[in-house]
A and B are shown apart, each in its own frame.
Chain A
């Protein structure tokens, strides 16, 4: 069962515009959410995260929104730059006990930003 889903395999946007990547989850126990970026031949790199006690977290051009009632989160990149072209993974965890760092990832969305 896919507990974290990214239903858009790819997204193409123009440089300077907004990129919106979406993620849905099914497990109500998830209380911490992260976005990772991955370039070819490299491991995933942490981008931004949000705790379930918040509905928004912002870091420079990146903002993550969390809608707990809809079990949905999104990553906004404004303005998009060609260097943002990568695979973006949404991940979730249920804190506590021995599960620290046990992340459940979505399938990823390939973002392409055109100059």
Chain B
């Protein structure tokens, strides 16, 4: 069990640029989640995949955001035309489909700074 891996750990970009983050879940986990955390707040749900199917998207996920999980393994989160308000920690989490509780395993996150 190598845990949930996220890349990069930090990203600094200029407003208007596109950025893409990658998440590698724990290998046997079918469910994958993206959350966003801003300073002084708890993580906020963005979207959720079961295998390659994106089953739910939050209202927070504007049309500038797109997430994919093409082969049901790793996932990418892309933000187009970044804005300063996008600056946050982007957290990925995974869980096994057979889980009877809602325990999520989180990665260390990607810290995005939009200048």
Please give the distance in Å from B111's CB to the nearest CB on chain A: 9
| A107 with B42, Cβ < 8 A, contacts A32-B101, A98-B55 known | yes
Taking a contact as CB atoms closer than 8 A, the residue among B41, B105, B108, B109 that contacts A46 in the complex is B105
CB atoms of B106 and A93 under 8 A apart: no
Residues on the B chain within 8 Å of A41, using CB: 108
Query: Does B45 sit at the interface, judged by CB under 8 A?
Result: yes
Query: B55 — which chain A residues lie within 8 A by C-beta?
Result: 98
Indicate if A25 sits at the interface (CB-CB under 8 A). Answer: no
A7 proximity list for chain B (CB < 8 A): none
| In the complex, residue of chain A having the shortest beta-carbon distance to the beta carbon of B107 | A43
Whether B4 is near chain A, meaning CB under 8 Å from some CB there, is: yes
Q: CB-CB < 8 A to B43: which residues of A?
A: 44, 89, 103, 105
**Residue pair A102, B56 in contact (C-beta under 8 Å):** yes
For chain B, the bracket of interface size reads 20 to 34
Interface-central residue, B43, B48, B102, by most chain A CB under 10 Å: B102
Alpha-carbon gap, A102 to B54, bound state (A): 13
Shortest distance from the beta carbon of B115 to any chain A beta carbon, whole Å: 21
Contact with A along B18-51 (1 / 0, CB 8 A): 0000000000000101000000111111001000
CB within 8 A of B101: which of A36, A49, A89, A98? A49
Q: Per a CB cutoff under 8 Å, which of B40, B41, B93, B102 touches A95?
A: B102
Is the Cβ of A106 less than 8 Å from the Cβ of B42?
yes
A88 to B42, CA, bound (A): 10
Residues of B near any A CB (own CB < 8 A) = 4, 31, 33, 40-45, 48, 55-56, 91, 93, 95, 101-109
Binding site for B on A (CB under 8 A): 4, 32, 34, 36, 41-46, 49, 51, 89, 91, 93, 95, 98-108
**Inter-chain pairs besides A43-B93, A91-B42, A103-B43, 20 sampled, C-beta below 8 Å:** A41-B108, A42-B108, A43-B4, A43-B109, A44-B43, A44-B91, A44-B106, A46-B103, A46-B104, A89-B42, A89-B43, A93-B102, A99-B56, A101-B102, A102-B33, A102-B45, A102-B48, A102-B56, A107-B40, A108-B42
